Structure 1
Amino acid sequence: MAGLEKDTPHPTALTVHTQSRVLEIGFDNGRAFRLPFELLRVYSPSAEVQGHGPGQEVLQTGKREVGIDAVEPVGNYAVLIRFSDGHDTGIYSWELLYRLGDQQESLWLAYLDRLAAAGADRDTPMPAAAGHACGHHH
């Protein structure tokens, strides 16, 4: 049970709303959150987003329209979310999902601040990552 606190609430319901782009999640302590796909995507716990240490985070932009293709269970402590932009390395623990819901407003403001600091906005396309082979669409 490494890393999972006994008091971490467990989700009792998890619904993907593709039209409104929110992941609705209810926990066994009675709280329920509606997490925008965009928030989930920009706070993905994957190394690709978080980098490999503080200050290494890669600012995610242009994710306003991102969709979720699938949510797959990982053991009984997390889910893997497959996003429509091809991002599928984020493993979201119950703890993380709860924290994202609980702190949604401050996390959102922090994200907007980071965008502003970078001179970007929610619709700025992601710069092509250096060193990643990207297929060119014609």
Structure 2
Amino acid sequence: MTAPIPSKIHYHKKARELELTYADGGSHRLPVEYLRVYSPSAEVRGHGRDTAVLQVGKKDVGLKNVEPVGRYAVKLAFDDGHDSGLFSWEYLYELIENRDAYWADYLRRLEEAGASREPLGIEIKQL
């Protein structure tokens, strides 16, 4: 089955949620934090089954930009600097359909790692 294509995409900045509206009238709001920790990029998912990198401290992440990519995906630029990985319509719909299970798994992995959703503080990069 091919995933439906959103007819409208809207970023709710204050709520930090991306809303996807479909032609059938269905609408789904996904928290930006959820999208960030499940980014399809190699930086997050790794290059193999056991190489995924647990994303921590992303509770307050937002979006800087939402850019369409052809007719099959969007590229999300997060305000923490992460902007690689294309969110295909199929992957976004998978995130919608599995939101509760994926989120519970993420929280479990954070707990097992002794990590937190809370930001660690200001990151200072030295030149």
| TM-score, length of structure 1 as denominator length | 0.84
Identity %: 48
Runs of at least 4 residues off by over 3 Å = none
- Aligned CA RMSD, in angstroms, stands at 2.0
How far apart in 1 are the matches of 2:51 and 2:76? 22
C-alpha contact 1:38 1:65 (8 A) present in aligned 2: yes
For 1:40, the equivalent position in structure 2 comes to 35
Shift in Å, 1:124: 5.4
How far apart in 2 are the matches of 1:12 and 1:54? 33
Shift in Å, 1:29: 4.1
Shift in Å, 1:17: 0.5
C-alpha contact 2:59 2:119 (8 A) present in aligned 1: no
C-alpha contact 2:18 2:30 (8 A) present in aligned 1: yes
Matching residue's letter, 1:8: A
For 1:131, the equivalent position in structure 2 comes to none
Q: Provide structure 2 residue ranges, at least 5 long, that are not aligned to the other structure.
A: none
Figure out how many residues of one structure are paired with residues of the other and give that number: 126
C-alpha contact 2:60 2:119 (8 A) present in aligned 1: no
| TM-score, length of structure 2 as denominator length | 0.91
- Select 2:19's aligned residue among 24, 35, 48: 24
Q: Provide structure 1 residue ranges, at least 5 long, that are not aligned to the other structure.
A: 129-133
Output one character per residue of 1:32-70: Cα deviation in whole Å (capped at 9) or x when no partner: 211000000000000000000001100001000001000
